[in-house]
Structure 1
């Protein structure tokens, strides 16, 4: 910039864009480690001088331009100016060369960021988790949600249905997604010249999947190895007679090795001139509904969040039970109360609550009532606003939409399953009289309570 010396000049936005791209490129292997890569190189960027990339032609990785403040999955987006929490679903696709799709997901993670308190968390979800798939009222492995959304042309496609499914599992809205395939991971590792990894014990996987739905026996002896992108992918994908939880540990190991390589070899000056090539190569491997300004905001947040302010978590064997479906599939059944405890810890705000508020939240969590919000008024955004408000109060809103008509004068609560504490709290919150709280039947069983918004409902604070 004019008026500043080169020595004291802050890096121009292309530097942060580069780091954001690297951040996204490594999502398929672990976003936390991608953040560590960012931290490793950011100071080098601040001290270095690089040629301007103002004329570079960069293919977009953004799926499409957003035209409203509603997410791909139909949720209200966070207000960045008010520093509201941001939740991003990371989808790693099991996409094979030349295959038209649709594809299942091999990796599913939720990145949550609290801009106000400068904290972040990463939750890894096992692909065999047996969950309810919304919209189709079916139960399946969670890694099929993207497949069904693409196959049936669900609004917003596979990412939207995956976001809805994770939202129903956790009770936390998902605002954005990043979708990557295996080739993106392989190319990113190859771009930095491979990684050095120590394998603790021999790995032999006679049923490692090949690209033609067959098997390619995999053997990796114990010891020190230098892996190219293809071998690194095999190392993090193989189950080797173990579980998704071990895969996650290997995943983190490989990306930490990538971070170490960039740091040790001072690779950023060599990578920066390759930025247009990197973008071209990744444009068919990475897709997101994050807009460019939001990607830049994320890069800035990464600069502000200290490593000890990041939590990593896994829905692991302590929160699941192994089971077999009638078809003979091996799946993991979630233990809801254990997952709720993890969710509350990972997505918690640092706001101090009094004992009564803590007790209230605990009772709501214990009942675990799934709430549907239906807008029975002509106000188009009312369901979304009420849903967002209720989530802030600790209620588990799993869906919202329009009611069967738009002339409800009074707000109604329909209780399907007898979740009495949640029903009582909803009535108190909105001043709903007892005569407007009614029992009901819900054969599908997807929700426990339905709140139908009438003209008399007023949101506190509005």
Structure 2
């Protein structure tokens, strides 16, 4: 039965204030905008030449075919090269906005992710910032108090008329508290998300645990229950949005942040499919019109196009991801009853220095040396009916330098083989996948759990031991 609320923006107990997550659009923005923006660049360049803030709203649309595009006859645009040599950090802001009150504001941000790209080492990363992080809003300590939730920075920036508005104050707040420069921002109004995911034919997602969220919010202030079982799913736009927004798992906001990053990588994998790109190019005008006012940024189209091309060259196994989860924060109840997260500054600095290092850490190119340096502990689980498969796989891996600390039967039979990274061992995970032929789409991250090993290798019916 549909519920109602008597107070606007009142959080529902398990799902929280609506997120309207569109972090997947970020990858369309940074991974496909090359093809979208460059295709249209010549026609809109004069229009945006004097714009410092770009709102991609209702551009003229040229008639194009809506049928399947022949990849062999659709030439890809020739991109310009990003000439910078310094790391680029982009703050992604997902604003808390619903269709029923789309013209109202200011808005808080329920999604804050820093995307980072190093053009020299050709590495990239994502850092998810929880909305309840309790930090100073620089310049407003006297007016607001010493600390506020970080998701209010955008709200107060618009409310108080901060130069550059909410995005500018959000950028300054992240810079102040993380100690990194934020070069650009992308603010997302998420109404276009579902159509964009549908435009690329949906995404493949592995759901690590069954989710039952009877309090998932609808478009207004009622409920639209969400349920999805554990396992592999092909999600359309509506379901992908629900999967990314829900907080109805044990880890709450931290789990949601991990699902956001999972959705981003799933969209990236889908978009990077060479068979899909020609169709996206042909539909570029419609895609750009779909975005409409949904995207605002202080990048020019030329900068976006160049960064997108650069991002597209980064290998999947050179993209790191992290969440400021309970390892980096302490839960705290303020005197007025707010449940917030106090940052552990020393641990946050360690993460920052790892994720945003100006140069890659020196490490031997020898795989055995790199495996030893990371020291990743692996547990092999047999999710098949083939007796002894986990033992044989363990012996195979140990002979190649992997550190296997246990074997066992999986909790259930599986069709697909997956690798789950629990503690952040990027080289071990990527090399393990390479050795065993596990595709990138079946590499999962679950860094908030208390697993007994760093990495779980769960063998499915599709698994074949190399040379076996």
1:70 matched residue in structure 2: none
2:93 matched residue in structure 1: 91
Aligned residues: 306
Q: CA deviation at 1:32?
A: 6.8
Distance (whole Å) between structure 2 residues aligned to residue 247 and residue 341 of structure 1: 23
Q: CA deviation at 1:103?
A: 1.3
Distance (whole Å) between structure 2 residues aligned to residue 314 and residue 302 of structure 1: 21
Q: CA deviation at 1:112?
A: 2.1
| CA spacing shift, 1:257–1:176, aligned 2, 3 Å | closer
Q: CA deviation at 1:55?
A: 9.5
Match of 2:305 among 288, 296, 301: 296
Q: CA deviation at 1:56?
A: 7.9
| CA spacing shift, 1:274–1:81, aligned 2, 3 Å | closer
> Is the counterpart of residue 29 in structure 1 residue 31 in structure 2?
no
Compute the TM-score of the two structures, normalised by the length of structure 1. 0.59
Distance (whole Å) between structure 1 residues aligned to residue 241 and residue 162 of structure 2: 30
Match of 1:316 among 322, 325, 334: 325
Compute the TM-score of the two structures, normalised by the length of structure 2. 0.58
Q: Comparing 243-252 with 195-204, which one deviates more in the overlay?
A: 195-204
| CA spacing shift, 1:211–1:32, aligned 2, 3 Å | closer
| CA spacing shift, 1:170–1:273, aligned 2, 3 Å | same
Contact 1:92/1:106, CA 8 A, preserved across alignment: yes
> Is the counterpart of residue 66 in structure 1 residue 68 in structure 2?
no
Runs (4+) off by over 4 Å: 30-35, 52-64, 259-265
Gaps of 5+ in 2: 1-20, 54-81, 363-468
Distance (whole Å) between structure 2 residues aligned to residue 217 and residue 262 of structure 1: 29
User: What pairs up with 1:307-346 in 2 under 5 angstroms?
Assistant: 307-346=316-355
Match of 2:261 among 239, 252, 258: 252
2:356 matched residue in structure 1: 347
Contact 1:200/1:222, CA 8 A, preserved across alignment: yes
| CA spacing shift, 1:237–1:60, aligned 2, 3 Å | farther
| CA spacing shift, 1:255–1:85, aligned 2, 3 Å | closer
| CA spacing shift, 1:98–1:161, aligned 2, 3 Å | same
RMSD value over aligned CA atoms? 3.5
Distance (whole Å) between structure 2 residues aligned to residue 57 and residue 255 of structure 1: 29
Q: CA deviation at 1:344?
A: 1.4
| CA spacing shift, 1:98–1:304, aligned 2, 3 Å | same
Q: Comparing 321-330 with 153-162, which one deviates more in the overlay?
A: 321-330
> Is the counterpart of residue 133 in structure 1 residue 151 in structure 2?
no
> Is the counterpart of residue 183 in structure 1 residue 185 in structure 2?
no
Q: CA deviation at 1:27?
A: 6.4
| CA spacing shift, 1:195–1:135, aligned 2, 3 Å | same
User: What pairs up with 1:188-199 in 2 under 5 angstroms?
Assistant: 188-199=196-207
Distance (whole Å) between structure 2 residues aligned to residue 114 and residue 256 of structure 1: 18
